Structures are given as C-alpha cells and as structure tokens.
Structure 1
Amino acid sequence: MMCGGSSESKPATAETQQIVQEIKPQVEEKEGRQFEVFEAVEFKTQMVAGINYFIKVHAGNNEFLHLRVFRSLPHEKKPLALASYQSKKAKQDELVYF
C-alpha cells in the first residue's frame, strides 16, 4: 500500500468489526439514534500519519453507512476517532474517499 493512496476494498475482518463496535457510540450520538445492527461489511485503508479506515457498515434492513475512522500512531496512545461518515448508503455503493 502506498502512503496516501487507499488500498483495494477487502471483506471486513474481526479487527474491522472491533473498530466499528468501538466507534458505534460516536455514530449513534451524531445520528441521534441507536443501531440494533452495526456490522462491518468491507473496508479500505489509507496510510497517513496513522491509518484511515473507510468501512462500509450494515445498519439493518437495507441501510448502510460509510465510516472514516482514524487510528493514530501507537506511540500517540489516542482513541479511535470518527473522522467522518455518510448515511443513507446502499449495499452496492462503492467505498470512496470522503
């Protein structure tokens, strides 16, 4: 993976699901609602001064969200941060930089 460029889209992993679960309260706060289902489907990564994760999340029924989560470098010891998100996405919508 080149620095600054994003990776190919890959199926979600246990690590991706862990990130999604950790960031879920931040998304719920911004959306003003609770999610029964919050399951990572696929993701891309981008190397910056840390890692941006672009994650497609299934939020129940035909609802999907795209999350951009920033993981700082390990020595900075900062929590995961919800950098941005997009709601009202469809299953077939491609993960792109936002």
Structure 2
Amino acid sequence: MMCGGPSATKPATAETQEIADKVKSQLEEKENQKFNVFKAVSFKSQVVAGTNFFIKVDVGEDKYVHLRVFQPLPHENKPLTLTSYQTNKEKHEEISYF
C-alpha cells in the first residue's frame, strides 16, 4: 500500500457491513429508492485525516453500488458520511478511487 493511497481490496467484514448499514439511509435518500438487499462484498480503505472506506455493496438482482464513506477521527465525535457513490456497477468491477 502506498502512503496515502487506498489499500488492496479485501473481503468485507462485519465492521464493513456495519459501516455500509450506517450510510444506507443516506444513499436511499440520494437515490430516492429503498434497497431490500444491502450486503457489503469487499472494500478498500485509505487513511487520511480519518479513514475513507470504498465499499462494494450487493443491492440485489446482480446490481452493485460502490460507496465512499468517510469516518472522522474518533476525537472529532462526528458521524460517518457517505461522501460519494457510484451506481450501476457489476460484480466483476474493481473498486477504484472516486
């Protein structure tokens, strides 16, 4: 991993799913739709002044979204933020910086 760059892609963990779940409502509001399926599949992380998580999420029917979620440093006591996302992704598509 290069300094400041995103990590290698890793399989999603329980923590990754928890992060995705916490920003699900933000995505649903932005996309004006509800997701019945919302399963984190894989992720990359990037340490900045906090952490960026790039998460591939299965939303059902062979559709995926890529989320960029910012987790502030603990002492800032701020919530997770969905900073960007990409829709209409496919299972084979690699998560890239966006």
TM norm structure 2: 0.97
Find runs of 4+ consecutive structure 1 residues off by over 3 angstroms: none
Q: Residue in 2 aligned with 1:65?
A: 65
Q: Residue in 2 aligned with 1:10?
A: 10
Unaligned runs of 5+ in 1: none
Find the aligned partners of 1:13 and 1:60 in 2 and give their Cα distance: 19
User: Residue 28 in 1 paired to residue 28 in 2?
Assistant: yes
TM-superposed CA distance for 1:4, in Å, is: 1.1
CA-based RMSD? 0.8
Instruction: Give the conservation status (yes or no) of the 8 Å contact 1:65–1:86.
Output: yes
Counting matched residue pairs gives 98
Find the aligned partners of 1:61 and 1:3 in 2 and give their Cα distance: 37
CA deviation vs aligned residue, 1:48-91 (integer Å, no higher than 9, x gap): 00000000000001110000000000000000000100000000
Unaligned runs of 5+ in 2: none
Find the aligned partners of 1:41 and 1:47 in 2 and give their Cα distance: 20
Instruction: Give the conservation status (yes or no) of the 8 Å contact 1:2–1:47.
Output: no
Q: Residue in 2 aligned with 1:79?
A: 79
Q: Secondary structure at the match of 2:47?
A: strand
* Percent identity over paired residues: 60
TM norm structure 1: 0.97
Instruction: Give the conservation status (yes or no) of the 8 Å contact 1:3–1:48.
Output: no
Q: Residue in 2 aligned with 1:93?
A: 93
Instruction: Give the conservation status (yes or no) of the 8 Å contact 1:41–1:58.
Output: yes
